[in-house]
Copies of this chain bind each other. A is one copy, B any other.
Amino acid sequence: MSIARSIKESLASSSMIRKMFEEGNLLKKKFGADNVFDFSIGNPDLEPPPAFHRVLLRLAGEDARGSHGYMPNPGYPEVRAALAKKASREQGVDLDGSHIIMSVGAAGGLNVVLKAILNPGDEVIVSRPYFMEYRPYTANHGGRLVEVNARRDFNLDVAAIEAALSEKTAAVLINSPHNPTGRIYPAETIAALADVLSRHGKKSGRYPYLVADEPYREIAYNGVEVPPILAAYQESLAVTSYSKSLSLPGERIGYIAVNPAISEKDEVTGALIYATRVLGYVNAPALMQRIVAELTQERVEVEIYARRRDAFTEILHQAGIPYADPQGAFYLFCQVPSSTQPGDDRAFVEHLKQYRILGVPGSGFGAPGWVRFAYCVDETLIRASAAAFLEAVKTWKKESRHV
């Protein structure tokens, strides 16, 4: 009796993060939750929009016969049809219900996609920094993650991706708006990437899938629109969730949108449905499916996040902490002040803790020298952290080894 070796290793390496959480909890116990500036977790604090509560209450009251029973693995036909309309607007191509596979959040959707497409040893290219769960998601299904550095402004480095393509490349996995940098990849970048993938496919005979992880698509600022992916490249799939746009992360509801023009469409959707079944999701939660189908025009108030971003960047500016300007999502990716780059992000995070500020070292995202702060917390808490930030950076800079 013993757990799997691979997990034993992962548990050991994730003990650092656990330790950080535990220390954060100790701080909160000691000083009170309102006196700890916890920017470590991407758990949206905004409530779902009022329309969510109305629909939930109505459906709970109706409780039609069979409404909590099994439905086809990819979801209710009418829900898929409703979300196809929404996806069509966002993705610039015409989808119908057959192109939508309901999923247990984006995390579930990504696992389904990777299970459906990966052969043992196949490669998935990601742009570094990247959401750290992509590594185990890929390993789950026998794949290998290939990391390519982003450009200095955190836009995709299309030439570097091109150089990393091989006959083993099953997919390029992108995330926009981006965790942890807040970057939105511009349409020209997506077009350039599509061009590179098409040329590689034509030459090698294997067109890599372009998989877009888009849980933050609706959290974008200053009127910036997240460019469509499906309109840009034929062999593409977009995975999304309602965790951020409707603040429903605990309910695990999202979907996969399959490009209507994808090669072997029936085989691809068949594989996604099969993966949904045998990975044990079986189907996305029934009640939540019916709710989100009625909320295709709704989203949380992005303006609240925008104000928090402004408040936070003002503090960073004053404290002299350089950061990547976020165009979407709710993270600030900050450079550790240091005379030599990369600065020591783990030491900086430890240092900040003395000022009751919690962040996540960039090393966890493959980007040493950086720290991620999540601003899905009350604006009051953000403003209250100003003095602590200023003081923390002053003392950090005093320690000659850093600056």
> Are the C-beta atoms of A264 and B2 separated by less than 8 Å?
yes
Query: In chain B, what residue has the closest Cβ to A106?
Result: B280
Chain B residues near A118: list those with CB within 8 A: 4
> Are the C-beta atoms of B68 and A140 separated by less than 8 Å?
no
> Are the C-beta atoms of B249 and A69 separated by less than 8 Å?
yes
Bound CA span A236–B156, Å: 48
Nearest-Cβ distance from residue A19 to partner chain B, whole angstroms: 13
Chain B residues near A108: list those with CB within 8 A: 280-282
> Are the C-beta atoms of B282 and A285 separated by less than 8 Å?
no
Within 8 A of B (CB), among A6-27: 6-8, 10-11, 14
Query: In chain B, what residue has the closest Cβ to A110?
Result: B280
A247 CB–B CB distance under 8 Å: yes
Taking a contact as CB atoms closer than 8 A, the residue among B5, B104, B117, B283 that contacts A280 in the complex is B104
> Are the C-beta atoms of A250 and B70 separated by less than 8 Å?
yes
Chain B residues near A53: list those with CB within 8 A: 60, 63
Taking a contact as CB atoms closer than 8 A, the residue among B11, B105, B109 that contacts A270 in the complex is B11
Query: In chain B, what residue has the closest Cβ to A267?
Result: B3
Chain B residues near A252: list those with CB within 8 A: 104, 281-286
Query: In chain B, what residue has the closest Cβ to A48?
Result: B68
Chain B residues near A48: list those with CB within 8 A: 68
A137 CB–B CB distance under 8 Å: yes
A372 CB–B CB distance under 8 Å: no
Bound CA span A66–B112, Å: 28
Stretch in contact with the other chain, from A204-212, A338-346, A379-387? A204-212
Interface string of A166-210 (1 = CB under 8 A from B): 000000000000000000000000000000000001000011110
A296 CB–B CB distance under 8 Å: no
- 23 A/B residue pairs, CB under 8 Å, sorted by A: A1-B201, A1-B235, A3-B117, A3-B268, A3-B271, A4-B118, A6-B119, A7-B275, A11-B267, A14-B274, A44-B69, A45-B69, A56-B60, A57-B61, A67-B250, A68-B249, A70-B249, A104-B282, A107-B281, A112-B280, A133-B277, A136-B278, A250-B286
> Beyond A60-B60, A107-B281: 17 further Cβ-contacts under 8 Å?
A1-B209, A1-B235, A2-B263, A4-B119, A4-B141, A7-B115, A7-B274, A7-B275, A45-B69, A47-B65, A104-B252, A136-B278, A249-B282, A251-B286, A252-B283, A252-B284, A279-B279
